[in-house]
Amino acid sequence: MDAEAQESFREFVANRSSALLKTAVLLSGGDRHAGEDLLQNALIKAAGRWHRIDEPEAYVRQILYRQQVSRWRLKWPRRELSVAELPETGTAPDASGAAELRLVMRGALARLTARQRTVLVLRYFEDLPEAEVARILGCSVGTVRSATHRSLARLRALAPELTALGPAADEQRPSLDYSPVEVRQ
Amino acid sequence: MNVDELVRDALRDQAEGQPPAAPGFADRVLAVRRRRRSRRLASAAAAAVAVVAVAVAVPMLDSGKQDVRPSGGVEQTSVTARPDQSPPRDVIAADRVALAAYYTSRNVERSADRAVSERTYWLLNPKTKKYEKADRWSYVAVAPGLVTAAVLERDLPVRRIGLLDLASGEVKRWIPVDRPVAGVEFSPDGTKLVATTYSQSPDQRVKIEGSDDWDALFMKSYRTGFHVIDVASGRSSWAEVKVGSGPDDPGTFLNSRQDFGFSGDGRLVWSGLPSEPGKRFYDVAGKEVAPPARERHRDWGVEAGVSPDGALVAGQFAGKKWKTSSWILDSRTGKARTEVRGQQLLAWADGDSLVAWDIGPDGNEFHQRLALVTMGSDKVVPLSGFRSPDDTKGRWEPVFAQR
């Protein structure tokens, strides 16, 4: 990496790291340190081919997502535990209170697997269409659809308060791909 | 409200609650990248003992006498290559430099989550001209002339430095130091030592959660400063160099081992920084000073450093003209003067040739051998056999000294 590339890399990180870190923290289930590690690794990979990247932000985001999915697959098979109980919230939340519901949802999101969470972050935080999510993750549209389906179902299972909510549009279309998204219970 | 709307709200709410990334995040990323890269590609740069100098003199081992004598351990011939040996058994040399020693590293477990990376050295015996195992030492620097080495015992940091007679393998003198040291390097003329002081071993390794590998401490430095020691008298001074205090100070992001070395004229002490400005120079009292003109563009990650005449400086990997090649820069302007073969430049053999790690015809970037490369020439002279691509005991790291 020459001095010019380093300068442009620094500028990019200074301008975009806070936004990228938000995504990385969401992908990590709200764990700030894990999010920083995730972003750091993605940026290291990007730095290695900096002068060949046309759209750095899109590139780094893609590494973030794929890294998170493969990290779950390869390295941290037991790191995240699925728990059937509700997250500790002290008192029973008032289902009508939006803030409380968001907290319940946040706790449930943290208990998804990395892959389930990644699909939801792409669909609902980044607001990307299914085809785009499929391209980023390197899988079929059907897989994205079924993964979204199962992730939402899993959220409901984790937090019964959410059962009162209406189904998502994604849940109202049939999933064409029934390959297992999440094999651990 | 639908479940997807709540997911969206919850994610946005959580994202908005995140404080911004810390200033200096780019430097942190570049520092980690550099550390991983240098570990992956070849020897740890901080440990390099490639000595570049013009004047050659070696301290006598007996104190109290007039303390310098000319070099002369290994006869100077142009190139002595062992392309069939890895690790080498017999002397390897090219013009003014010789492979004075090599070492391998292994992690010695101290507890479930702590280990220490320990080196085992093989030192060139100037009489037999063979490399002999010397497993008593945790760190070795060879003086120009290949007669004497400065050695540190096991369990770094230690409170004395041995002066080893390389022919007999005996320590002729111990130099005690006030503050514990874990790294040492000779001045280019061999009359002084700079010893880096640490409050704890810089070679500690830890297990990061979720990883099966041992890693160096990240952004944690126990470095305290340096001793400059007059070899003849054993007199030493110590200068404190504080580790930086925050993300805005590049001195904060140090590798766990980040040793000090001498400037080309032996008058200043310097150390690399993983982040910009890349290095800092100090006087012997530890006061930061401007880099000498010829060393302004020296890169601590490139062991070869400044050329014998001071006009050029070895640069980073280029990879333009050939799959593996490196830049040679003008030492005053930092501009690329030419591209030379070689994946990683280790030591200047003469005014226009360097010893480098380079790959072979198989193109595998982890399958390297020592080679002599020359500016303006396509020719690569293999000096050693290929090093094992795995990070195992077969992976040896070279230590060069001037003959």
- Residues 69..108 of A with a Cβ closer than 8 Å to B: which? 75-76, 79, 98, 101-103, 105-106
| Cα four-point dihedral sign B155, B182, B87, B170 | negative
8 Å CB contact between B356 and B374? no
Q: State whether residue A18 sits within 8 Å of chain B by CB.
A: yes
> What are the structure tokens assigned to A123, written together?
């669909």
**Residue B78 to residues B14, B71, B176, B228, Cα–Cα distance (Å):** 67, 16, 38, 33
Beta-bridge mates of residue B116: B108, B204
Q: What is the pLDDT of residue B46?
A: 35
Residues of chain B contacting residue A43, judged by C-beta atoms under 8 Å apart = 26, 29
Query: Which amino acid type is present at position B235?
Result: R
Contact criterion met (CB below 8 Å) for B370 and B355:
yes
**B114 min Cα distance to partner chain A (Å):** 21
pLDDT value at residue A83? 32
Nearest to B15 among A10, A26, A43 (CB): A26
Residue B38 pLDDT level (bands cut at 50, 70, 90): low
Q: ipTM value of the model?
A: 0.80
How far B191 CA lies from chain A's nearest CA (Å)?
Answer: 36
Q: What is the mean pLDDT of each run of 10 residues along chain A (185 residues)?
A: 87 90 91 86 89 87 82 37 35 57 87 88 90 84 87 86 76 50 33
Nearest by CB to residue B14, choosing from A75, A106, A167, is A106
Point out which residues pair with B119 in neighbouring strands.
B105
Which conformational region is residue B286 in: left (phi greater than 0), alpha (psi within -120 to 50 degrees), or beta?
left
Is residue A30 less than 8 Å (CB to CB) from chain B? Answer: yes
pLDDT score for B210: 66
CB contact under 8 A, B4 and A76: no
**How much is the average pLDDT of B11-26?**
85
Look up tokens 């046309």; give the residue.
A54
The conformation of residue B35, written as its DSSP 8-state character, comes to H
Instruction: Work out the mean pLDDT of chain B and round it to a whole number.
Output: 85
Kindly determine whether residue B15 and residue A165, on different chains, have CB atoms separated by under 8 Å.
no
pLDDT digits (tens, 9 = 90+) for B128-182: 999 999 999 999 999 999 999 999 999 999 999 999 999 999 999 999 999 999 9
Whether B8 sits inside 8 A of A171 (CB atoms) is no
Neighbours of B336 (CB within 10 A): 14
Q: Measuring CA to CA, which residue among B260, B247, B295, B334 is closest to residue B24? A: B247
Smallest CA–CA distance from B20 into chain A, residue: A18
What was the pLDDT predicted at A81?
A: 32
Instruction: Please give the single-letter amino acid code of residue B6.
Output: L
Partners of A167 on chain B (C-beta within 8 Å) are 2-3
Asked if B241 and B272 count as a contact pair (C-beta separation under 8 A), the reply is no
For residue B283, how many other CB atoms are within 10 A of its CB? 13
Give B330-373 pLDDT, tens digit per residue.
999 999 999 999 999 999 999 889 999 998 888 777 788 999 99
Token pair, residue B313, equals: 């400086």
Contacts of A32 in chain B (CB under 8 A): 18
Alpha-carbon gap: A21 to the closest alpha carbon of chain B (Å)? 7
Q: Looking at the partner chain, which of B5, B11, B32 has a beta carbon nearest the beta carbon of A26?
A: B11
CA angle B158, B161, B166 (to 5 degrees): 130
> How far is B308 from B287, CA to CA, in rounded Å?
27
Q: Could you report the per-residue pLDDT of B201-243, keeping only the tens digit for each?
A: 999 998 876 667 788 877 688 999 999 999 999 999 999 999 8
| Each residue's pLDDT tens digit, B89-101 | 999 999 999 999 9
Question: DSSP string covering B230-298, please?
Answer: ETTT--EEEEE-PPP-STT-GGGS--SS---EE-TTSSSEEEE-SSTT-EEEE-TTS-EEPPPGGGTT-
* Interaxial angle between packed helices A3-27 and B25-41, expressed in degrees from 0 to 180 and rounded to the nearest 10: 110
> Most distant CA pair in chain A: distance in Å?
57
Inter-chain Cβ pairs, chain A and chain B, closer than 8 A: 115
pLDDT reported for residue A111: 86
User: What's the rounded mean pLDDT across residues B74-81?
Assistant: 65
Nearest CA in chain A to B317: A1
* C-alpha span between B27 and A1 (Å, rounded): 13
Instruction: Sort out which chain B residues have CB atoms less than 8 A from A123's CB and list them.
Output: 4
pLDDT in tens, B280-320: 999 999 999 999 999 999 998 899 999 998 999 999 988 88
Residue of B6, B15, B210 lying closest to A101 (CB–CB): B6
Q: Please judge whether A102 and B1 are an interchain contact, meaning their C-beta atoms are less than 8 angstroms apart.
A: no
CA–CA gap between residue B402 and residue B190 (Å, rounded): 10
Residues of B in contact with A152 (CB under 8 A): 3-4, 7
Verify whether the Cβ–Cβ distance B29 to A165 is below 8 Å. Answer: no
B10 to A105: CB separation less than 8 angstroms, yes or no: yes
Instruction: Name the residue in chain B with its Cα closest to that of A20.
Output: B21
B14 vs A: CB within 8 A:
yes
